[in-house]
Structure 1
Amino acid sequence: MTSSFAADFAADATVDLGLSALRGATLAEVDAVAALQHRTDRKYLVPLDRARDLVARLADSHHVLDLAGRRTTSYLTTYFDTAQLGAWRAHVQGRRRRWKVRTRLYAEDALCRVEVKTKDGRGATVKHALRIPGHAYGQLDDSAAEFVDGVLHRADIPVTTAALSPAAEVRYVRAAFADLDHGTRVTLDGGLTCHYEDRTAGLDPGHVLVETKGGIRPAPADRLLLNLGARPVSLSKYIVGQSLLTPGLPDNDVRRLARAHFTTGTSPAPLLERIPAA
C-alpha cells in the first residue's frame, strides 16, 4: 500500500482535479509525439485549487494519459549516489555536469526502468532509460550497471556504478498530460514523500508539484501557470529528500524552499508492494 494520502490522491484525483473531463490519450500516442528524452523541465509548487484551474484550462489543448481507464499512476523511485553524495552536491552547487541515476517502478503497470539523467551543453535535461524486470527495482544488476556506466562515460561524468548505492526513495502519484500538437507534456504529482532510512519528508497535501517538459522556450502550459500566479522553482525530488533528511548537510536554497512546503517525521511510511514485471 502507498501512504494514506498518496492512496487518497490516486483514488480522488480523477474527480477532484477534473481529469475525467479531458480527452484521453494512450501511452503510444503520447510517446509518438512527446517522449521528450531531451528536454527543458520547469517546475511549480501549486495549491490544489489552482491545480484544478490548470487542468480545466488544459482541456482545450491537452490530452490526459489514459491507461485502460486509469488516469493516475503510482511511482516508486530509488536514487543512487556516491558515499560523498556526489550527485546531490553537483546539483546544489550548480555544476554543469549534473547527473542522477535511479530505478523507477510504475506500480500498477508492473513496469520498471533504470534511468540516467544528465545535462547537455545548453543546460537541457537528457534522459536515458533501460527497461528491467520488476524484481530488479532498487538495485543495479550487471546489465543495469553496464548501461549506467556507458551513459555516464559518454557524458564525461567520472562516476561508475561501483561507487553507487541506494541513497533515497521517492514516492508519489502522477497524472500526465500531453499537447499532441506541440509535442510538450505536463505532469501533476501528489502524495509526494521522500524516504531515507527511518526518516520521511512529505509535500504539504494542499499542494501538487507541476512539471512542464518541452523545449527551451516556455510551452503554452507555462503561460497558463504564470497567468494563475505560479512561478518556476528549482526543485528536485531527490535533492529535497537528501536536504531535509540527511543530517550534517550544508544549508542550501533547496532546503529553505522545501521547509516552507514539506513536513518531516521519523515514522516510515508503509512500502508499496514490489510488483514483478509480467
Structure 2
Amino acid sequence: MTPASAFAAGLGLSALRGATLAEVDAAAALQHRTDRKYLLPLDVARVFVRRLADHHHVLDLGGRRTTSYLSAYFDTERLASWHAHVQGRRRRWKVRTRLYAEDGLCRVEVKTKDGRGNTVKHALRVPATAYGELGAQAADFVDETLERSGIPVRAADLSPAAEIRYVRAALADLDHGTRVTLDGALTCGHGDRTAALDPGHVLVETKGGLQLAPADRLLLHLRVRPVSLSKYVVGQSLLTPGLPDNDVRRLARTHFTAPTSTDLRTEPRPDPLLERISAA
C-alpha cells in the first residue's frame, strides 16, 4: 500500500460522496479567504471525516481521492519571508512553485495578506518541468504581484529555501462554499536535512469566510483548537540552525521528528501523470 492509499484508508475517505474538480473549484471560488489550521491525531481525524460525510464531498479524480503535493519555497538570503511570518507582520508573503505530482500540473504561487488580514493567493500555471525554479515568466509574475501588494522584494532576491511534500485530501461543502483539506505524510527538506510530521497526526485546514464553518464548529466540539502553523515556517525552523527560538519551533518539536541528513535531492519524485484540467 502506497503512502497515499494508506492515508486515504486511514481517514476513511471511501465513505464520502465524491465530487468533481469543477464542483470543488466552484465551491472554492473565494480567493479572499480565512484559513484555520488544526493538528489532529489520526483517530480523531477519522471521526472528523465520518461526521462531515452528510454535507461534505471529497475531491475524486478518476477514483483517486488524494493528491501528492511538492512545494518548493523561495526566500531571500536573510529569510525575509520566514521572519515576516514569525514576527506577525501585516505585509506577510510567500513565494513557491507547487507540483501536483500525479496530474503533472505546476503553478507559481504568491500568497499575501490583504488590508483585512485575509489570505490572498495569486497563481500562474507553468510547465511541470519548471517546478523548483523561477524562470523569466515566473519572475515577472512574482515581481508584479509583490509590487501590487506593496512588498519591496523582487524575484532576483529569491532562491530555493525549502521543499515541503505531503499527501492531501480535499473536502468541500458544495452548498456553503467552504473547504477542508487534510494533509499527511508531510516532510520538510533543505539541502541534506529533512524532518517529518509525526505519522500519527494530520494537519487540517479549513478555508472559508470570517464566520466559523460547520467543520470548525465540529472541531471545537471534538475539543480541537486552532494552531498557528505554516508548513514553510515550521520546516525552516527545524532545518536551519541558528534561527531564533519561537512558539512555532516549540510546536514543531512536539509533532515533528528531529531533522535527519537524508538528501531529498537524491530521492525519486512521483512521476507526473496526465495534466489536471481546471474548471473553466
Q: Following TM superposition, by how much is the alpha carbon of 1:9 offset from its aligned partner in structure 2, in angstroms?
A: 3.2
* 1:83 aligned partner: 77
Q: Does 1:41 align with 2:24?
A: no
- Output the CA distance in 2 between the equivalents of 1:151 and 1:274: 30
Structure 2 residue corresponding to 1:17, chosen from 11, 14, 18: 11
Q: Does 1:123 align with 2:117?
A: yes
* 2:197 aligned partner: 203
Structure 2 residue corresponding to 1:153, chosen from 144, 147, 157: 147
- After TM superposition, where is structure 1 displaced by more than 3 Å over at least 4 residues in a row? 273-278
Report the CA distance shift for 1:277/1:79 in structure 2 as closer, same or farther (over 3 A).
farther
Q: Following TM superposition, by how much is the alpha carbon of 1:121 offset from its aligned partner in structure 2, in angstroms?
A: 1.1
* 2:245 aligned partner: 251
Q: Following TM superposition, by how much is the alpha carbon of 1:26 offset from its aligned partner in structure 2, in angstroms?
A: 0.6
SS in 2 for 1:200: strand
Conserved in 1, the CA contact under 8 Å of 2:34 and 2:210? yes
Q: Following TM superposition, by how much is the alpha carbon of 1:69 offset from its aligned partner in structure 2, in angstroms?
A: 0.7
What are the residue-to-residue correspondences of 1:149-188 with 2, within 5 Å? Answer: 149-188=143-182
Conserved in 2, the CA contact under 8 Å of 1:73 and 1:107? yes
Conserved in 1, the CA contact under 8 Å of 2:102 and 2:273? no
Q: Following TM superposition, by how much is the alpha carbon of 1:96 offset from its aligned partner in structure 2, in angstroms?
A: 0.2
Question: Which digits, 9 at most, give the CA deviation of each residue in 1:201-237, with x for residues without a partner?
Answer: 1000000100000011111100111111111000000
Aligned CA-pair RMSD: 1.3
- Output the CA distance in 2 between the equivalents of 1:67 and 1:35: 19
Where does structure 2 lack aligned partners over 5 or more consecutive residues?
A: 276-280
Conserved in 2, the CA contact under 8 Å of 1:77 and 1:170? yes
Q: Following TM superposition, by how much is the alpha carbon of 1:276 offset from its aligned partner in structure 2, in angstroms?
A: 8.0
Q: Following TM superposition, by how much is the alpha carbon of 1:248 offset from its aligned partner in structure 2, in angstroms?
A: 0.9
Conserved in 1, the CA contact under 8 Å of 2:101 and 2:273? no
SS in 1 for 2:242: coil
- Output the CA distance in 1 between the equivalents of 2:2 and 2:220: 28
SS in 2 for 1:263: coil
- Output the CA distance in 1 between the equivalents of 2:91 and 2:63: 40
Question: Which digits, 9 at most, give the CA deviation of each residue in 1:130-160, with x for residues without a partner?
Answer: 1100000000111111111111000000000
Query: TM-score, normalization: structure 1?
Result: 0.95
Conserved in 2, the CA contact under 8 Å of 1:135 and 1:277? no
Q: Residue type of the partner of 1:227?
A: H
Query: TM-score, normalization: structure 2?
Result: 0.94
Conserved in 2, the CA contact under 8 Å of 1:239 and 1:254? yes
Q: Following TM superposition, by how much is the alpha carbon of 1:13 offset from its aligned partner in structure 2, in angstroms?
A: 2.8
Q: Following TM superposition, by how much is the alpha carbon of 1:125 offset from its aligned partner in structure 2, in angstroms?
A: 0.3
- Output the CA distance in 2 between the equivalents of 1:77 and 1:247: 21
Q: Residue type of the partner of 1:186?
A: V
Q: Does 1:272 align with 2:266?
A: no
Question: Which digits, 9 at most, give the CA deviation of each residue in 1:160-206, with x for residues without a partner?
Answer: 00100000000000000000111000000000000011111100000
* 1:139 aligned partner: 133
Conserved in 2, the CA contact under 8 Å of 1:116 and 1:151? yes
Question: Which digits, 9 at most, give the CA deviation of each residue in 1:61-83, with x for residues without a partner?
Answer: 10000001100000000000000
- Output the CA distance in 2 between the equivalents of 1:9 and 1:47: 17
Q: Does 1:216 align with 2:234?
A: no
State how many pairs are aligned.
272
Question: Which digits, 9 at most, give the CA deviation of each residue in 1:88-136, with x for residues without a partner?
Answer: 0000011000000000000000000000000011111000011100000
Q: Does 1:65 align with 2:62?
A: no
Where does structure 1 lack aligned partners over 5 or more consecutive residues?
A: 1-6
- Output the CA distance in 1 between the equivalents of 2:270 and 2:7: 21
- Output the CA distance in 1 between the equivalents of 2:96 and 2:210: 25
* 1:4 aligned partner: none
